[in-house]
Structure 1
Amino acid sequence: MRNQVKWLLCLTLIFASLQSLFVLPVAASEESDEDPSTTAVAAASPLRPFPQHTAYVSGVIKPNNIDQAKMDNEVRRLYDEWKGRYLKKNPYVSNQYFVHYNLNQESDDDPQVVTTSEANGYGMLITAIMAGHDSNAQTYFDGLYRFYKAHPSEINGQLMAWQQKDNGSAIVSNKKAGINAATDGDMDIAYGLLLADKQWGSSGSINYKSAAVQIINAIMASEVNQSAWHLKLGDWAADSDPEWGKGTRPSDYMLNHLRAFRTATGDGRWDTVLNQTYSIIQQLHTGYAGSTGLLPDFATKESSGYKPVNGEYLETDKDGFYYYNASRTPWRIATDYILTGDSRAKAQLTQLNNWIKGKTGSDPAKIKAGYRLNGNQINSYYDLTYATPFAVSAMIDKSNQAWLNALWTNTTSKSTNSDTYFSNSIRLLSLITVSGNWWRP
């Protein structure tokens, strides 16, 4: 018997030694790579796992120089790289995650700045869509949701304060920047919650549908002008303000989000906002960019209608041009056509596609970072931020097939590590759509 005990003890020691050889600690700076299932409740099985291969409307195209399986794998690769670089665990709160947008010190607001509501919204969209590929997607999504709830706007507490910083002992909303909301981040957070409801259901620890309705109603109350029915810049822009109440940002024109908000809440005012948004797109196109289809970073309402702002309005002296905000409009606007076939923006998108193909000689490498609305370039360098959204707008017609193929090849070839959070996030979201994997809740 003694010999048997000794033998069992030896086996136990050998097994423990082998375990120590293969179990490695997780570095604090790489929290997004750890297995969150060790500290979280079991995730629900995804109901719409990636890849979805959504049936887009008739006539919409995808790249045909690469097969579907390879496109899906490219999206998986870009997601894994994006997650590894930007998705971070809050070092001070164990069940929260955030998307780090300032790794390269792109923000000139404060070196301590780490994230924004825009980044949080992108993260919630991406993790909800990529469930099925990433078995921990729900844990990440829930952590991003908790981060949003931990950083409310001081004006409407159902909305998210637009910027956060790490002060060395906590991640807090940035008072210097203003603890108020930006419309784009809130809209993506709301849409992400609707995706989550369809992806995992709302019977778990977070009622995604109820949370979505709360923020959608808050967006209507505080980020929609209640007489002009345009999307405002944030909850800080009072309807009655003679300057800010009239302002609107075309990169917030997430038309399919507006449809989803109407469906989720039953609030018919969202139909009014949708129709007004399409009207503004048409006014800006026909009145100020008839030969290009380009939209400005910011526009304002005047007695004669909507027009691009002049000079520095909110961010830079390029606010009236097609610059870093407006670079997202081909993706945001074309998505509604791709999913619904609503043709009200097709003339603008068609003009945009024809113009950029002509401007570049159908060579995506010649896309430049920013244009005046007449088509004159602002900068001489290429930027992925501008290139990838054109791939989404190219999907609307078969005449763009060669151009779409070239855009896919160009944008997937760029290194994640050598680019920025903004470029890489827009690329991933755009290529999810281009690959046929975007869907509406």
Structure 2
Amino acid sequence: MNWRFFFLLLLLAGCAGAAPTLEPRRPFPQHVVYPGQQIRPSRSQGQLDADVLAYYHVWKERYLVEAGRDAAGRPLYRVILSLKKPEKTVSEGMGYGMMIVAYLAGADPAARELFDGLYRYVRAHPSDIDPRLMGWIQPPDGSGNDSAFDGDADIAYALLLADRQWGSLGEVDYAAAARERLAAIAASTTGPDSRLPLLGDWVDPQGSRYNQYTPRVSDFMPAHFRAFGDFSGDPLWGAVNAAIESAVAGLEDDYSPATGLMPDFAEPQSTGFPLRPADPDFLEGPHDGDYYYNAGRYPWRAGTAVLLYGDAFWRERMAKLSHWAEQASGGDPLRLSAGYHLDGTPIAGQDYFTTFFAAPLATAAMTQPDQQAWLDALYEVVHDRHEDYYEDSVTLLNLLLISNNYWAP
């Protein structure tokens, strides 16, 4: 062996990212000390780890499937859209799946094979508009093969996790792949003036109905954007974080001062900032301006920035929202409705419990020192309850946070 060449490769790997390794550098469990954590569930660390592993095994068995082979005979994997539509896959699910298996490396010896197979599937299904991004639904549903912001942002974040976990000198150069996707997100799905996330690469930033001031609020991912800036050195991501803070502060002040709830989608009040909740049927349905099945992810996304980075702005947001949720439910998570108007009124016909809304609220509760009983109650009703792909994927990612096994790349 040419040892000089070998050490040169190691040096280059150190410049590009983590040194290459067959074994995970941050195997599960990690037991991360979060700068912004105030409380944790009243269970032992071993119990929390075991709960995550048990949940992961069910998630993997139900939703992670092989999706053929590439030209070189290597397997592709995908995450199914739902148990009722197993033939469908969305980019959002691919991002969730890639993050999950990267975090579970070490506990699952197949994690790297699964991660690479998921990424092969992503690459095999590009958007027709910006092929560096993924087409949001596969097979395409006839509405256009274009991207969705959240799927690609989670895929980029997962690639950063993979670079830290395994290095970037294997089959996939994770660091280079992350740089390419971040460049595409910046160019094709970030408002050139607003610095807000676009709904996808299909949006004209200057469009009349959908534009750079019509975001999906659950696409506000402050911890992701912090990691993207740390990795790339691009000041854009600091500007994106400043823009989403401005948007959230305006929405809360004007529309949810007592609850801290956010709408699924927002529109400009006139042009540009400030924003208002979207009109009914703006994009997906009659509850587009309510705290519904997109915005339910908001406490997870914002709470992550508090836990991982101790962010004071998002801590204040989570304090209001988390205390409202505890009070509105009387401290009983099973009384949480599956959707609310921004004033805290439950949406009619949504008076049922789902882990989708409860698990992110558990993450938010971890940021508040006076909500131990509320956190424990939330944990008890989510840690072993399974529903479908969307609810279970969001719940599992929150369980990783709640168990102190979610780390920043």
Normalised to the residue count of structure 1, the TM-score between the two structures is 0.84
Match of residue 101, structure 1, among 58, 62, 81: 81
Tell me, yes or no, if the aligned pair for 2:305 and 2:314 is still in contact at 8 Å.
no
Q: What corresponds to 1:76 in structure 2?
A: 53
Instruction: After TM superposition, give the deviation of residue 238 of structure 1 in Å.
Output: 1.2
Whole-angstrom distance in 1 between the partners of 2:393 and 2:328: 25
Cα displacement string for residues 123-150 of structure 1 (whole angstroms, at most 9, x for unaligned residues): 0000000001000000000000000000
Name the counterpart of 1:229: 195
- Find the partner of 2:28 among 40, 50, 59: 50
Deviation at 1:102, TM superposition (A): 2.5
Deviations 1:83-114 (Å, cap 9, x if unpaired)?
A: 01100001465510000112224xxxxxx851
Give me the whole-angstrom Cα distance separating, in 2, the residues matched to 1:60 and 1:98. 36
The within-5 A match list for 1:84-123 is: 84-91=61-68, 93=70, 94-105=74-85, 113-123=87-97
Question: What's the counterpart of residue 144 of structure 1?
Answer: 118
Structure 2: which 5+ runs fail to align?
1-19
Say which of 230, 243, 257 aligns to 2:224. 257
Structure number, greater radius of gyration: 1
Aligned residue for 1:62?
40
Q: Which runs of 4+ in 1 moved over 6 A?
A: none
SS in 2 for 1:96: strand
Specify whether residues 349 and 154 from structure 1 end up closer, same or farther in structure 2 by C-alpha distance, changes over 3 A only.
same
Query: Superposition pairs for residues 15-414 of structure 1, below 5 Å?
Result: 44-57=22-35, 59-64=37-42, 66-91=43-68, 93=70, 94-105=74-85, 113-165=87-139, 174-245=140-211, 246-301=213-268, 302-303=270-271, 305-378=274-347, 379-414=350-385
Between the aligned partners of 1:96 and 1:342, the Cα distance in structure 2 is 38
Say which SS state the counterpart of residue 248 (structure 1) adopts.
coil
**Aligned with 2:113: secondary structure?**
helix
Q: Distance in 2 between matches of 1:313 and 1:58?
A: 36
Match in the other structure for 1:439: 407
Give the Cα separation in 2 of the matches to 1:77 and 1:242.
48
Contact map agreement 1:116 1:163 (CA 8 A) in 2: yes
2:395 counterpart of 1:427 = yes
Q: 1:28 matched to which residue of 2?
A: none
- Given that 1:43 and 1:136 are in contact with CA atoms closer than 8 Å, whether structure 2 keeps it comes out as no
> Mean Cα displacement is larger for which, 272-281 or 303-312?
303-312
Percent of matched pairs sharing the same residue: 40
User: What are the ranges of 5 or more consecutive residues in structure 1 without an aligned counterpart?
Assistant: 1-41, 106-111, 166-173
Structure with the larger RCO, 1 or 2 (CA within 8 Å, 6+ apart) = 2
Residues in 2 aligned to 1:54 and 1:211: alpha-carbon distance in whole angstroms? 26
RMSD across aligned positions (CA): 1.4
What is the count of residue pairs matched by the alignment? 382
